[in-house]
Amino acid sequence: MTTELYRLTATEVLTKVKAGEVSIEDYASSLLKRIEARDDAVQAWAYLDPAYVIEQAKALDAIPESERGPLHGVAIAVKDVIFTKDMPTQFNSPVYTNNAPKVDAGSIMVLRQAGALILGKTTTTEFAATTVGPKTRNPHDSERTPGGSSSGSGAAVGDFQAPVGLGTQTGGSTIRPGSYNGIYAFKPTWNAITREGQKIYSLILDTLGLYARSVDDLELLADTFMVFDDVPAPKNFSVKGAKFAILKTMVWPNAGPGTSTAMDKATSLLRERGAEVEEIAFPDHLNDLPAWHATVLASEGRTAFLPEYAVAKDKISKQLVGHVENSDKISRKAQLEAFDKISAARPVVDDILGKYDAVITPSVPDEAPLGIATTGNASFCLIWTALHTPVVNVPGFKGDNGMPIGLSLVAPRYHDRRLLAVSKKVGEVFEKEGGWKSSV
């Protein structure tokens, strides 16, 4: 039994631990054996100390049942841009090699207090800000990227090396790896989860994201982070009678055959189960959303990377140097216009999204591309990051090469829990009938 414990979801682990069927030490040992067996192929970890993992597990086993938290023993993979007081935080940058601040990020403080086992730090692109891939490979095909910038967290969860993981998103850094690795990914409403103690690229865009292999696990984490809607999510949502919209967005020309097929199949599957599905479009005045996002990103980067530029300009990428030096020649007037136009767009889009149980839109152009030098195209994600809406990548479909493709479900801001409830039922359909199954 121990050798298969690594395949459990977080919710399943909690059930077994509460029933006294499994110790945290045995569970942690199973995960470590899985990591050891698969690390050469996947390389998801920037830092992992097996002895310390077991030490944490033993300490958790020693806690009396009456004092255990809601995540007691759940192992969590943490993206290496999030501070952990007992592990290095290196941002995949030579500027911070062996950097070990003795403080936890706000998210880690919450997770530890809930009883989570912090498994290790996962790979990221440089400062979670570039598209140059780290060493990590897609668990379903080691010749392909796992996506980025949350490369290691997505790959670790997709490869059963951790049940859940933390990522971040400024463009598409949570949702895209979710699609490429065949798992659920949740980008909540902007700032619904604390960002204190993580490297910031853009205050206006950065969002802490979550990975899991089930929506139940995402809901478990949402409970822990107190992500709640004004109106409680439906307990018995049904696809039958539900109302969905298909929104291809202004970047649809980027879509490849895999995503195009997935969108068509999703529409058919939902209609077959009694849902109403219609196709909608953004109003024309929002067609420049991608350009506004790019302006905000570059403008915020001027501030974010000035410290590293000041002390080690020669050790950071040319892209980040360009942000600081404003190589795109973005005026403050253009910066303000982009900020203000995106702000004005948010309530407009909330109103559009609010007419449906969820809006379905591409997560990625297609399956994960070959090569690990770059992390893929984020064009379908960045719109929603700018709009601050919650997004869930739902897996289930596949591309021409048999690799996973997910689709995004989107809802208005602060409708996170309703979106998760809808995603759970939609996910049951997509996973059963979409055509892709994990073989790892």
Report the distance separating Cα 364 and Cα 432, nearest Å. Answer: 21
Residue of 93, 107, 149, 214 marked active site:
149
Average pLDDT over residues 433-440: 97
Which residues are paired to 211 by β-bridges?
A: 165, 185
Which pTM does this prediction carry?
0.98
pLDDT-based confidence at residue 2 (cuts at 50, 70, 90): very low
pLDDT-based confidence at residue 184 (cuts at 50, 70, 90): very high
Is 214 in the active site?
no
What pLDDT sits at residue 182? 98
**The domain that contains 351 carries what CATH number?**
3.90.1300.10
Average pLDDT over residues 107-116: 98
Cβ contacts of 17-24, under 8 Å, gap ≥ 24: 17/72, 17/73, 23/57, 23/61, 24/57, 24/58, 24/60, 24/61, 24/72, 24/73, 24/117
- Cα dihedral 22, 113, 226, 153 sign: negative
Whether residue 142 is preceded by a cis peptide bond, meaning omega within 30 degrees of 0, is no
Structure tokens at 231: 């109106």
Residues of the chain with pLDDT > 90: what percent? 99
Bridge pairing between strands 358-362 and 404-410: antiparallel
One-character DSSP codes across 359-408:
EEEESSSSSPPBBSSB----HHHHHHHHHT--EEEEEEEE-TTS-EEEEE
- pLDDT tens digits, 359-383: 999 999 999 999 999 999 999 999 9
Instruction: Phi first, then psi: give them for residue 421, nearest 5 degrees.
Output: -60, -40
Average pLDDT over residues 240-246: 98
Average pLDDT over residues 174-183: 98
pLDDT-based confidence at residue 279 (cuts at 50, 70, 90): very high
Report the distance separating Cα 369 and Cα 372, nearest Å. Answer: 8
Residues 6+ apart with CB under 8 A from 122: 44, 45, 46, 77, 78, 79, 80, 136, 150, 151, 152, 153, 155, 156, 165
Q: Are 291 and 330 in contact (CB under 8 A)?
A: no
209 alpha carbon, distance to own chain's centre: 4
Residue of 107, 173, 179, 423 marked active site:
173
What pLDDT sits at residue 61? 98
Vertex 160 angle, CA 158 and 165, to 5°: 65
What pLDDT sits at residue 68? 98
Residues of the chain with pLDDT > 70: what percent? 99
Structure tokens at 227: 């992500």
Average pLDDT over residues 261-271: 98
- pLDDT tens digits, 281-292: 999 999 999 999
- Provide the mean pLDDT of the chain: 97
Give the three-class secondary structure for 299: helix
Backbone region of residue 379 per phi and psi (left: phi > 0; alpha: psi in -120 to 50; beta: other values): alpha
Vertex 357 angle, CA 182 and 348, to 5°: 105
What pLDDT sits at residue 146? 98
pLDDT-based confidence at residue 110 (cuts at 50, 70, 90): very high
Average pLDDT over residues 16-27: 97
Q: How many Cα atoms within 13 Å fall on the side-chain side of residue 407?
A: 30
pLDDT at 400 over 90: yes
Report the distance separating Cα 386 and Cα 297, nearest Å. Answer: 10
What pLDDT sits at residue 354? 98
Which residue is it, tokens 């920037």?
A: 46
Tally of domains within the chain: 1
Average pLDDT over residues 313-336: 97
Residue of 23, 29, 79, 150 marked active site:
79
Report the distance separating Cα 286 and Cα 281, nearest Å. Answer: 10
pLDDT-based confidence at residue 33 (cuts at 50, 70, 90): very high
97 alpha carbon, distance to own chain's centre: 25
Which residues are paired to 118 by β-bridges?
A: 76
- pLDDT tens digits, 326-372: 999 999 999 999 999 999 999 999 999 999 999 999 999 999 999 99
What pLDDT sits at residue 415? 98
What pLDDT sits at residue 439? 95
pLDDT at 3 over 90: no
pLDDT-based confidence at residue 152 (cuts at 50, 70, 90): very high
Q: Are 186 and 420 in contact (CB under 8 A)?
A: yes
Is 327 in the active site?
no
- By the 10 Å C-beta count (0-12 exposed, 13-18 middle, 19+ buried), 232 is classed as exposed
Is 149 in the active site?
yes
pLDDT at 1 over 50: no
Instruction: Identify the domain containing residue 393 by its residue range.
Output: 1-439
